[in-house]
Chain A
């Protein structure tokens, strides 16, 4: 059924297009020929469908030829006009703008806003997505990683996300690097916070650890000295460091003699062997090390000891060899890795595969979708603006028909009128566009402040020449787009009927009115789409920020401290430091602190397999968030205990290991109660007894609370470097007291990072907030434009129909009837716009699915709400012209005749 109906509609549309393009006499010839052809085809047994397809092709072809013919018939020789005519047109255009300052101002403002917004968003897209990375031949750089298939099978979304993009262990990396996969070079790195001993005391800096191959891969030579050599990759090799330009300047005053001097990193002296050029940084990792300072990196040290010792996870970058394509390298790497897995020479790679992708895509990650989405949004607003201006200009052109007719009667040909109209709209759009580019450039700094820290490559966003060229090109297109229709209106004027008719054009031509109405409907449809988007995203953001977190973050600080390993060596040293610092801090009245491995919602999470043990000793493995904390941690976070007890000072190192679980974990695995049940952590041997159940806590806002196991720090092997700090009084004073306590316990240990927990939570939803705010603002802008479009069409139509309405009223039409007539045509536009909007929104909505939180892309409430809003707004926009129509005085109208 559907297959039958569809070609017929398509044929009708194609036929309609061709008919509009053809001269009436020629059209009748075309119809005869098509009729004969269809008959002939049918008599030859062609199916209905193939005939329809043939007809569609023919009509579309004819349409194209006839439109092209019409464009060609435009007499360019005449329209070009010569220099004198251009100068006259520019003068006329200027005079036109001055004569209609309201129109000129609205057009220029609209263009400026639309171009400004589009250029700004484009500058972000360009800087983040399109601009090449700062390395030479950056398009040859790829990111290489492992996929862990067992993670991909997890029902937990966060674990699935975690399963891709895993760095390899050193032996696997070595096999990749040694084989002929098509890489010209391969390197591995990790950015970490390191402690460097300065004259003023210990300080945590951002540093990189890299293999020798990394610098070759990135293709950047040191400005001074050397980068790492192959021997630096050996475990236990000489301690060397390559400095960043900035650090070299601040620490060594930019002295070339710095080569050979020592920098004490993590208590170990390192010899300076090189200095990198200014602005060199390592590619930003999508999942940076927790607590990494946001500052510029200070230096780079060899990766080997950390990595080959089995500690760090790394990022791997490769440079494709000459002539090797990405697909080719990926295929070769994948088969090499399959061989490694099958060979069984490596541990822990049984269910992995190796993949690669362009480095820039890896750095940009998920942000890409958001940026294209925002660009699409701003593009829609530009479209509404263009349509709106076209509408204003067409209306203005229609009301200037007498002027055109006079000029035409005085000898200006159609092409001359078309040209002067194009010049006029071009001047307005051009002025507006330049103003918009100015706005975008001036507003750049302000805009950058709005970009969340989680957006990578923000530093490469600028109003570059490319951005300006694109902005100018868009302006040019917009000028052309807004100019064509009004110019044709001007060119079509017929002096005889216009001048010969009564005082004013009493009614508009049907086609003029229907094109004005169609333009307003298009505006409404696009505004509808943006409003739906704004509704969905705003709703998502509101839900995200009101999600029950399970804890009370108000006033809490998260302070990262890693004890100086030289002073507090070994497990005992570490534990001693932790206990001493907690005691020392809590000597301050009103200050409470507890160290945790990770503070929920502070931006990091960890998953570990946990074995659930049945009474008969059999186990079942699940993944859970592991939270380790000192005594008092849950209390400071405000997490209530629902059943059993919280761990306390009696749960010491050699007592029976205990664990707490969250309510949803109990519901899922022990519906009959979890107290007294046993679990075992994947990397531990001991069994633990569940002694308490606490309320659900989220690890991340956009992830429902799932399995979480909470352990006392004295019974866990994990480090607890994040201190959650509560001070009853001033937060800064509390932090100062904490620093003081730290200095007392360990003078050589620095504070690495301080975060306000509430801000960290806010930051974690900065991207959804940006999406909601920006699309919301764009939707409001589009709605205002569409509103003014509807208003403009109706006001214009009422003004043109003054005589008709006057006569009707003289014949007894009531003013209420007149009002409802006008409002009804406004509502008709709104309904058409809403339907059109639904048509466009449907495919776009599913695109936005990944941006939505706990709301469906087809949420009926949003759609109904937006539809009602559009209707209400249209009714409002039509009310004023309706009132004006009702106020028409029939006597004056008739007297004028």
Chain B
């Protein structure tokens, strides 16, 4: 969709952050675990697949196939695409700009 910036929803942001944290180990199972334990947001299997489907269609995420290690089988993991990284960065920057001056409210401990 030319000319339209790909906005990121909350779930998409969380998934993307999880994929980045997991590096080469980002499978469906580990992403869910990461979002649930670190992100503290429960996510159903269906919701996760719907989210990654959408992100893949938008070109934010790609499925990479890993060559089988000795005796193992081929497996896939998710990778953040350059476009995805760009979208994440600009979303975070937008967020940061909006946060400026609100630290006292948003983060009272600091």
Contact = CB atoms under 8 A, between A and B. Distances in A.
Contact of A29 (B1, B44, B47, B76): B76
Interface residues of A, number: 21
Contacts of B44: 61, 65
A469 B45 CA distance: 41
Nearest to A18: B49
Residue among B1, B27, B53, B57 facing the most chain A CB atoms (10 A cut-off): B53
Given A25-B63, A61-B45, A69 B76 contact: no
Contacts of B57: 23, 73
A858 interface: no
The interface residues of chain A, by DSSP majority, are classed as helix
B23 interface: no
B28 interface: yes
A260 interface: no
Given A28-B63, A29-B63, A65 B49 contact: yes
Contacts of A75: 1
A595 to B, nearest CB: 79
A66 B45 CA distance: 11
Residue among A30, A65, A72 facing the most chain B CB atoms (10 A cut-off): A65
A417 to B, nearest CB: 15
Given A28-B63, A61-B44, A23 B53 contact: yes
B54 A69 contact: yes
B27 A26 contact: no
Interface string B18-34: 00000000011100000
A65 B45 CA distance: 9
A22 interface: yes
Interface string B70-102: 000001101000000000000000000000000
B10 to A, nearest CB: 15
Nearest to A75: B1
B27 A65 contact: no
Given A36-B29, A64-B46, A28 B76 contact: yes
Contacts of B75: 32
Interface in A24-40: 25-26, 28-30, 32-33, 36
Interface string A43-77: 00000000000000010011011101100110100
B14 interface: no
Given A33-B27, A36-B29, A26 B46 contact: no
A75 B63 CA distance: 24
Contacts of B54: 69, 72-73
Contacts of B49: 22, 26, 29-30, 62, 65-66
B56 interface: yes
Interface string A374-385: 000000000000
A68 B50 contact: yes
Contacts of A26: 49, 52-53, 56, 63
A29 B50 contact: no
B44 to A, nearest CB: 7
A30 B47 contact: no
B65 to A, nearest CB: 8
A30 B48 CA distance: 11
Residue among A29, A32, A58, A64 facing the most chain B CB atoms (10 A cut-off): A29
Contacts of A29: 27-28, 49, 52, 63, 76, 78
11 contacts: A22-B49, A29-B27, A29-B49, A29-B52, A29-B63, A29-B78, A32-B75, A36-B29, A66-B46, A69-B50, A75-B1
Interface of A: 22-23, 25-26, 28-30, 32-33, 36, 58, 61-62, 64-66, 68-69, 72-73, 75
Interface of B: 1, 27-29, 44-47, 49-50, 52-54, 56-57, 62-63, 75-76, 78
Q: What are the nearest 9 A-B pairs in CB distance?
A: A65-B46, A69-B50, A25-B63, A65-B50, A33-B28, A61-B46, A26-B53, A29-B76, A62-B46
